[in-house]
């Protein structure tokens, strides 16, 4: 291995006691391949197993914590005890290759297609008729918060090493924090960013309470968030500082900054000449470990996230779809052979579930491929 890549292979111990051999995570990616009832399918296991040999942590596809939170066909569920046996097999598959297993817990909110939720009843922070969503009642808000706690308990029973709370990408947790979608005037809303933190922070507290109740040791909690929104009103970097300040006080194991491009610059609410990652690092980087992600394909790009942006971890997503053995290739000095484009003629070498393969072929540009 080239000495320049050594930063990727430094061990790390999280606040919770979970230890990893390197600074590389497999980013959570939806695969559309679970059974219709949300249980883990047979085609998921070889897919995740192929990507678990080398990375320190594998974060699995987001799993919905409530039946009314399903955002994708073929999404894994974690809202019922019936899901535990399959989830246990998923965690065991990851562990068998040496990685730590983290499951992302999620509620889609207004991004749930009506055909995937009971009675087509799409929910959000507020009534949003133009988006086909209604606002949750106070009782429903509390029920979903409890759902995140129950999902955490199931993750523990299934043998996972942690959960990542999905507060990014415009899903329900972000909908409560955003002024674009939260118009509430009760305890779950308000004009200020601090007021709109009630729902996200209640989820964090419930997740941590579930861990304490189970007496789980060495079980980590991460939180993924998107730092800005394009809409006006919408989240700005100034709002994000309020969020990360609050999360940094919650003794989380890490914050995962969801970006399409790791080095992207701030849009508004902060110095627009600086990257979002560097701004967040400056704000809370001494209090909580940070994970950077976004268009990382080569080991040099991965190192740049750690060194140029001063992140503690780098998460890699789409590149692991193309090159499942990425980590070991870097470790063994074979980085020149790393592929960054899927070759359609070599379909069987990628160990991709058929629904995910079809998505890649149809969503041109998401994952590069050549005929």
Per-residue model confidence as pLDDT tens digits over 90-107: 999 999 999 999 999 999
pLDDT at 285 > cutoff 90: yes
- 371 pLDDT above the threshold of 90: no
pLDDT score of 23 more than 90: yes
Report how far residue 107's alpha carbon sits from residue 202's, in angstroms, rounded to the nearest whole number. Answer: 14
* pLDDT for 30 beyond 90: yes
Angle made by CA atoms 148, 152, 154, in degrees to the nearest 5: 115
Can you give the pLDDT at residue 99? 98
The pLDDT of residue 364 is 82
Segment 130-148 mean pLDDT = 98
Which residue(s) pair with 290 in the sheet? 255
User: Could you list the residue range(s) of the whole structural domain that residue 164 is in?
Assistant: 3-370
Instruction: Render 287-302 in DSSP notation, one character per residue.
Output: TS-EEEESS--SHHHH
Q: Does this model's pTM top 0.85?
A: yes
**pLDDT at res. 36:** 97
For position 245, what pLDDT does the model report? 98
Give how many domains the chain has, as a whole number: 1
For 114-127, what is each residue's pLDDT tens digit?
A: 999 999 999 999 99
Q: How confident is the model at residue 365 (pLDDT cuts 50, 70, 90)?
A: confident
Query: Which tens digits make up the pLDDT trace of 326-349?
Result: 999 999 999 999 999 999 999 999
The pLDDT score that the predictor gives to residue 264 is 98
CATH number reported for the structural domain that contains residue 141 in this entry = 3.20.20.70
Place of tokens 């499951």: 103
Q: Cα(183)–Cα(176) distance, rounded to whole angstroms?
A: 9
Residue 325 in this model has a pLDDT that exceeds 90 = yes
């Amino acid at each position: 291995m080239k000495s320049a890549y050594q930063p990727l292979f430094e061990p790390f111990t999280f606040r919770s006691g979970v230890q990893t051999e390197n600074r590389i995570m497999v980013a959570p990616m939806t695969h559309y391949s679970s059974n219709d009832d949300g249980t883990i399918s047979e085609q998921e296991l070889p897919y995740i197993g192929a990507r678990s040999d080398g990375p320190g942590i594998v974060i699995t596809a987001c799993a919905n914590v409530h039946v009314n939170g399903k955002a994708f066909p073929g999404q894994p569920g974690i809202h019922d005890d019936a899901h535990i046996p399959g989830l246990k097999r998923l965690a065991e598959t990851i562990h068998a290759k040496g990685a730590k297993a983290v499951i992302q817990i999620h509620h889609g909110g207004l991004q749930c297609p009506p055909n995937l939720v009971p009675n087509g009843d799409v929910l959000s922070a507020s009534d949003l008729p133009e988006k086909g969503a209604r606002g949750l009642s106070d009782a429903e808000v509390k029920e979903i918060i409890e759902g995140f706690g129950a999902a955490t308990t199931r993750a523990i029973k299934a043998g996972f090493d942690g959960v990542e709370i999905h507060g990014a990408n415009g899903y329900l947790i972000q909908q409560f924090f955003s002024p674009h979608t939260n118009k509430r005037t009760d305890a779950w809303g308000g004009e200020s960013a601090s007021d709109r933190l009630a729902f996200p922070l209640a989820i964090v507290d419930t997740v941590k309470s579930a861990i304490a109740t189970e007496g789980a040791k060495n079980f980590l909690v991460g939180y993924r968030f998107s730092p800005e929104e394009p809409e006006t009103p919408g989240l700005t970097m100034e709002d994000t500082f309020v969020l990360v300040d609050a999360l940094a006080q919650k003794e989380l194991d890490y914050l995962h900054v969801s970006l399409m491009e790791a080095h992207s610059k701030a849009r508004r609410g902060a110095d627009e000449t600086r990257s979002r990652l560097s701004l967040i690092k400056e704000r809370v980087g001494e209090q909580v470990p940070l994970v950077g992600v976004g268009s990382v394909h080569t080991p040099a790009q991965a190192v740049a996230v750690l060194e140029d942006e001063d992140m503690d971890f780098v998460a890699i997503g789409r590149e692991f779809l193309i090159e499942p053995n990425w980590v070991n290739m870097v470790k063994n000095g074979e980085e020149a052979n790393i592929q960054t484009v899927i070759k359609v003629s070599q379909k069987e070498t990628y160990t991709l579930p058929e629904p995910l393969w079809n998505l890649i072929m149809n969503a041109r540009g998401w994952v590069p491929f050549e005929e």
